[in-house]
Amino acid sequence: MQFIDFTTDHLTYDDGSQKYYIEIPKDEIGDADITVQLKQEDGTYAEMDSDIEADFNTVRISMDIPVDFRVQF
């Protein structure tokens, strides 16, 4: 399984939904199942609540608060 780590700097705020999001091109992560994990203060990762929406070209991950996180695929 591969992963990409993201920081809060990668997130964009959506005024309409009042959530933070990132869009990742599918050519970077493929069509595999995606898991989003919160980076904790001790450097370990734990499951987190997020919304994942995919279309033909991109995967959009949204969350209520901006946090550092990992996307596993």
pTM over 0.75, yes/no: yes
Apex 3 CA angle, 41 and 38, nearest 5 = 30
Show pLDDT as tens, one digit a residue, over the chain (73 residues).
899 999 999 999 999 999 999 999 999 999 889 999 999 999 999 999 999 999 999 999 999 999 999 999 9
Q: Which residues pair with 22 in a beta bridge?
A: 61
Residue 37 · residue 72 · CB < 8 Å: yes
Contact 52, 36 (CB under 8 A): yes
